[in-house]
Structure 1
Amino acid sequence: MARRYAIYDVFTEKRLAGNPLAVVFDADGLTEEAMQAIAQEFNLSETVFLLRPESAAHSARLRIFTPAHELPFAGHPTVGAAVAIAETAYGDANSALELMQVLEESVGPVRAVVRLKPGSATFAEFDLPRKPSRLEAQFDRQEIADALALKATQVGFENHVPSFWSAGVPFVMVPLHDIRSVASVEFDPQRWEHLAPLAEGRLGAAYLYCRGGINHMARFHTRMFAPGMGLVEDPATGSAAAALSGAVNFFDGLVDGHHPMLIEQGVEMGRPSIIHLHLNIAEGKIASARIGGHAVKLAEGELAV
């Protein structure tokens, strides 16, 4: 049977920027093997399949695949799926709308809000289904520097040191001295696979960050490499931004209250992305957090499977 699909660029307001995502609609009846094969065929960082929800009160059930394997949770498929569902149902609306969705993911139900505005890119944000947690790991600064083709003195800034975090997907947070250091990285996947720890059945991906950004509004400038996911480099990674929130609160000691911040990624790939991160801190801990961004449709068609 023919199944409709669309390609969205996520975490951007402009086409051919951000992180491309394939959204497959009406995916009920596809086997896990078929979903994995379709994700390999699209060969994007992720493909999301929309299925009937288990609860009638929810909007859809999501299954998310990289070219290598399934993920329990990911940020840009969540944003892209929420936007695709809303635009399919209300894309012809001639006035602004704000819609609430609950998306069923393997990590648990994810609550999302979508804002449609005629003539503008659609925006969606979601509550983190899991708060970030720090995982046990020890890192050798020189080994990390060697895997990135950097000097050991370029790894770390202020009191930030490499650490291991997960909010559903594990990432090694690697603070780098400045934007120049981040831009000069030459990632060695073999060296990384040798040093990276395993957690939750996955190899920790590399998430590099420094303060500031090319965009003067950005709080952090980032890059993400994930050989274990079958990705060379990812232009925007919401699940990594979720994990980063734990490191930022831990090392910066955020005061209680609301902390909005913009995270830029994909600049070095020529696909600039902006991720909106909001943290609510209470008694020094993350009480709640949400991630958001825009998404724009690039293409659509049918799969003959």
Structure 2
Amino acid sequence: MRAYRFTTVDVFTTTRFGGNQLAVFPDARGLSDAEMQALAAEFNLSETTFVLPPDSPQNSARVRIFNRVAEMPFAGHPNVGTAYVLGQADEGRPRAYRFEEPAGLVEVTLLRDEGDRVTGADVAAPQPLRIGAPLPISTAAACASLPEDAIITTRHAPTLAADGGNHRLLTEVTPEGLAAAAPDLGAFRRAVAAHPEETRGFLSLYLYCRDGAAVRARMFSPLTGTWEDSATGSAATPLAGFLLHLDGAAEGRWDITQGVEMGRPSLLLAGARRMPEGIRARVGGHCVPVLRGEALL
């Protein structure tokens, strides 16, 4: 029987049992792809990460991210939480890590308190913002179980966007709409079937309402088993980049509150900047350790 150590952390929060849960296997050598997927399904969290030696010695580690049903090319809170777990145990007291992931190299900077203790991390999206196709208002409204007049289209229609992770349907809604929203699994399935080229067989919905630099958000991804996500870094970064695209500024920062309706409030500190290659975004936050143990295989 083989034993693999794991740690669970709550990400994008300073309060235990808030934020988004993550399981981290800091040494996954010897685990097969099927075993990683089975462990992710067993934990039944939005994501689980597995840390392996890097392919290049110039990088810190190779990090594989699995949701309940598939491996992901990139995700925000798994990178923040993985860096936090590794940083807490790393006697070399690093300031940053560089993770190899399917979406590309991911730069992660550790956050430390006045006593130089690791408290969280800030992660850069591995790719510039890519703005995809808009989808009909009726599609976004149906997926969120909302009337169409809850969708705000003054600045943009519901629009697909990504920057290294899965694309998200960015949709501005009224405050009342944000509070009332609930995912409709059948509507998600119909949306994918009706728009196969735009969605590429996958759809998650990121609802937000904005008050200056303060943003409230909710994220639904029932097609991957995540009915609602309490903190979604890989949605916060394309949203930050998209808001910068709309504003026309050189750079910007937004404090995104998510997970309130789930009873797991999260705070994601997102920013974006125009670069020669396009708009680049980052997201950061704090972490709290919760569980340690071993998985027996």
> What does the per-residue CA deviation read over 1:210-240, in whole Å, with 9 as the maximum and x for residues that have no partner?
113xxxx962111111122221111001111
* Paired amino acid for 2:269: H
- One-letter identity of the residue aligned with 2:283: I
Superposed CA RMSD: 2.2
In 2, distance between residues paired with 1:235 and 1:136?
A: 26
1:208 alignment counterpart? 207
Distance 1:229 1:99, change over 3 A: same
Q: How does 1:92-111 map to 2 (within 5 A)?
A: 99-111=95-107
User: Structure 1 residue 58 and structure 2 residue 59: aligned?
Assistant: yes
In structure 2, the residue matched to 1:149 is 145
Q: Equivalent residue for 2:260?
A: 267
Aligned to 1:14: 15
Q: Number of residue pairs matched?
A: 291
The alpha-carbon deviation at position 200 of structure 1 amounts to 7.8
Cα contact 2:205–2:220 (8 A) shared by 1:
yes
Counterpart of 1:240 in structure 2 is 235
> Equivalents in 2 of 1:250, 1:218: separation in Å?
15
Distance 1:218 1:188 in 2: 30
Aligned partners of 2:130, 2:97: CA distance in 1, in Å?
Answer: 26
Counterpart residue number, 1:293? 285
Opposite residue 241 of structure 2, the aligned amino acid is G
SS at match of 1:131: coil
From 115, 119, 127, the counterpart of 1:122: 119
Rate the CA distance shift 1:294–1:89 in 2: closer, same or farther, 3 A.
Answer: same
In 2, the alpha carbon distance for the partners of 1:83 and 1:249 equals 28
Consecutive unaligned residues in structure 2, runs of 5 or more:
none
**Which letter does structure 1 place at the counterpart of 2:257?**
E
User: Normalising to structure 2: TM-score of the pair?
Assistant: 0.91
Alpha-carbon contact 2:143-2:185 (below 8 Å) kept: yes
Aligned to 1:185: 181
1:245 to 1:189, Cα distance in 2 relative to 1, 3 A:
same
Please say if residues 100 and 113 of structure 1, whose CA atoms lie closer than 8 Å, have aligned partners that are also in contact: yes
Secondary structure at 1:204 match in 2: coil
How far apart are the structure 2 equivalents of 1:99 and 1:231?
Answer: 32
Partner of 1:220: 215
Q: What is the SS of the residue equivalent to 2:95?
A: strand
SS in structure 2 at match of 1:225: strand
Check the 8 A contact 1:245/1:279 in 2, yes or no: yes
Give CA-to-partner distance per residue, 1:66-120, whole Å, 9 cap, x none.
Answer: 0111100000000001111100114xx9xxx661111111111111110233497
Supply the distance in 1 between the matched residues of 2:201 and 2:15 (Cα, whole angstroms). Answer: 33
For 2:129, which of 122, 132, 137 is the aligned residue?
Answer: 132
Indicate the residue corresponding to 2:34 in structure 1. 33
Residue number among 142, 157, 162 corresponding to 1:166 in the alignment: 162
- Among 242, 245, 251, the alignment partner of 2:246 is 251
Distance 1:200 1:35, change over 3 A: farther
CA drift of 1:60 comes to 1.2
Q: Classify the secondary structure of the residue corresponding to 1:136.
A: strand
Q: CA separation in 2, counterparts of 1:271 and 1:184?
A: 17
CA distance in 2, matches of 1:59, 1:2: 23
Q: Measure how far apart 1:294 and its partner are.
A: 0.7
Unaligned runs of 5+ in 1: none
Q: CA deviation at 1:293?
A: 0.8
Identity of aligned residues (%): 35
For the residues of structure 2 that align with 1:109 and 1:282, how far apart are their CA atoms? 17
Counterpart code for 2:132: L
Whether the 8 Å contact between 1:133 and 1:246 is mirrored in structure 2 is no
CA contact (8 A) 1:98 1:115 kept: no
Q: CA deviation at 1:29?
A: 1.2
Aligned equivalents of 1:228, 1:71: Cα separation in 2: 14
